[in-house]
Amino acid sequence: MDLPSATPMRASRVLLLAGDVMTGRGIDQVLMHPAEPTLHEGFVKDARDYVRLAEAVNGPITAPVAADYPWGDALAEMQRVAPDLRIVNLETAITQGGTPWPGKGIHYRMHPANVDCLRAAQLDACALANNHVLDWGCAGLVETLETLRLAGLRFAGAGPNSDAAWAPARLPLPQRSLPIAAPPHDAPPSPPQPADAVLLFSVAVPSSGVPTPWAAGPARAGVALLPDLSRSVALRLAAGIARQRRAGELVVLSIHWGGNWGLDVPPAHREFAHRLIDAGAVDIVHGHSSHHALPVERYGGKLILYGCGDLINDYEGIPQPHGLRGDVGCLYFVKLRASDGHFDGLDIVPLQLRRLRLARADAKAHSWLDRVFRAGAAAGLGAQPVRQGEAWTLPPAGAR
């Protein structure tokens, strides 16, 4: 007699990962509760000018808009896929006060009363180790952290001291289930041990524009800042992750690294990511900093997203160098095997900003992504996503 099926469980987990969510400046100004608009930039002195630039390109925006407005068509995609967790890099201080960081050219902030904009996307966690979370100083960071806590949004990568900044966000996976096949009748029953949580670690590198004084200290607020991408730093980070990780937990390392423009993946980034995977420390490397998408890589049964680009920004109407596209944001739906965290497939859904709102990507946006992934293949990063309808897909190694 065949044994009965084991307790049903989902064979794979799906995580939504996205790059920079920059809800300050122009985005904040069209929401219900705009912050004081004065900017301290070299050329633009009023955040409302970014709204005017967007309107000049794509038409008028009837402000104030609802909290879910910036997400636009992304919300339907997230509902359609129903990922287990939703994680972004939040690159904006959420504060009314604070003091603009001296000598820094750009200062992003969103009014705390606009935090519903983040809740509208049902985000589970935000990576905060980046080059804008302290734009309004330590007081602005403290208000940011408190606002996120009160909104029920978890975070990693920044805190009132180094212990808090380096601590991961532990994200329980929902108890959804799909049936799995019963074991062969002659095999002893061995109930599977599926992943039950994700650990989100968030770190930054100075090459992304993070000022060195932003590094959190024992009694100083700041971010989890790596000194460099050397072998010794990779091994220390891997050891720190191992100390925090429990059985049945998947690890996402969210890392803010590199410059803003260009399709090349620096060798140091590849080596660092490979070392962490070789050490068994991470299941996904979630890279960001560049304003546009970068190629991806399958390595050692894991996925490396070298740069997820901006998802939401206020760059409409601003010329971008070398034909690069900061207005094309992507949703990365990553499938991981529940049993061991191995990469089990990737679907990328591109969108583009029109009137400060994410809309369906047009043919030119898809052509741009084709350029990105062709660059990855030419650089020796292996198989890259290919277009299937309105998405770009990458199967696990060995799949047809």
How far is residue 310 from each of residues 13, 46, 118, 186, measured CA to CA in Å? Answer: 24, 22, 15, 52
pLDDT tens by residue, 194-228: 689 999 999 999 999 999 999 999 999 999 999 99
Rounded to 10°, the helix 267-278/231-244 angle is: 40
Tell me which of 75-89, 282-296, 320-334 is least confident. 320-334
Assess if residue 184 is contained within a domain: no
Which residue would you say has higher pLDDT here, 180 or 1?
Answer: 180
Report, as an integer, the average pLDDT of 172-193.
56
pLDDT given for residue 369 in this prediction: 96
How far is residue 92's CA from residue 26's CA, in Å, rounded to a whole number?
A: 12
Q: Per-residue pLDDT tens for 219-234?
A: 999 999 999 999 999 9
Greatest CA separation found in the chain? 77
Q: How many domains does the chain have?
A: 1
Nearest to 18 by CA among 287, 391, 304, 200: 287
Tell me the pLDDT tens digit for each residue of 290-300.
Answer: 999 999 999 99
Q: Check residues 351 and 260 and name the one with the higher pLDDT.
A: 351
Q: What is the mean pLDDT of the chain?
A: 92
- Provide the domain limits for residue 365: 20-177+192-394
Percentage of the chain with pLDDT > 70? 92
DSSP H helices in 120-217: 137-150, 162-166
Name the pLDDT band for 6 (thresholds 50, 70, 90).
Answer: very low
**CATH code: domain of residue 62:** 3.60.21.10
Q: What is the DSSP letter of 397?
A: T
In a domain, 12, yes or no: no
Long-range contacts of 51-56 (CB under 8 A, 24+ apart): 51/26, 51/314, 51/356, 53/26, 53/314, 53/316, 53/317, 53/318, 54/26, 54/314, 54/316, 54/317, 54/353, 54/355, 54/356, 55/355, 56/317
Residue 351: the pLDDT is 98
Task: With beta carbons less than 8 A apart as the criterion, state whether 393 and 385 touch.
Answer: yes
pLDDT at 28 over 70: yes
Kindly state the DSSP code that residue 113 receives in the 8-state scheme.
G
User: Which amino acid is located at 134 in the chain?
Assistant: L
Q: What is the pLDDT of residue 398?
A: 75
Q: Which residues contact 184 (CB under 8 A, 6 or more apart)?
A: none
Query: What is the 3 state secondary structure string of 16-84?
Result: EEEEEECCCHHHHHHCCCCCCCECCCCCCCECHHHHHHHHHHHCCCCCCCCCCHHHCCHHHHHHHHCCC
pLDDT at res. 178 = 46
What is the rounded CA–CA span in Å between residue 159 and residue 127? 12
Q: Is residue 7 part of a domain?
A: no
Confidence of residue 339 (pLDDT cuts 50, 70, 90): confident
Higher pLDDT, 104 or 320: 104
Average pLDDT estimate for 12-32: 97
- Is 53 domain-assigned? yes
Q: Residue 179 above 60 pLDDT?
A: no
Residue 180: per-residue pLDDT: 42
What's the pLDDT score for residue 400?
57
pLDDT at 283: 97
Residue 6 within any structural domain of the chain: no
For the cut 70, the answer to whether the pLDDT of residue 9 exceeds it is no
Asked whether residue 170 is assigned to any structural domain, the reply reads yes
Instruction: Say if residues 67 and 120 touch (Cβ distance below 8 Å).
Output: yes
| pLDDT of 257 above 90 | yes
Taking alpha carbons only, the member of 220, 235, 227, 245 closest to residue 168 is 245
pLDDT at 2: 34
Structure tokens that stand for 345 in this block: 């497939």
Could you tell me if 237 and 139 are in contact, meaning their C-beta atoms sit under 8 angstroms apart? no
> Region 124-137: what's the mean pLDDT?
98
pLDDT value, residue 8: 38
| Domain membership flag for residue 345 | yes
Per residue in 38-68, pLDDT (tens digit) is: 999 989 999 999 999 999 999 999 999 999 9
pLDDT-derived band at 99, boundaries 50, 70, 90? very high
Q: Output the pLDDT for position 3.
A: 31
**For residue 388, which of 349, 336, 335 has the smallest C-alpha distance?**
349
In a domain, 1, yes or no: no
Q: Say whether pLDDT at 186 is over 90.
A: no
Query: To the nearest whole percent, how much of the chain has pLDDT over 90?
Result: 84
Q: What is the pLDDT of residue 193?
A: 58
How many whole angstroms separate alpha carbon 142 and alpha carbon 71? 26
> For position 97, what pLDDT does the model report?
87
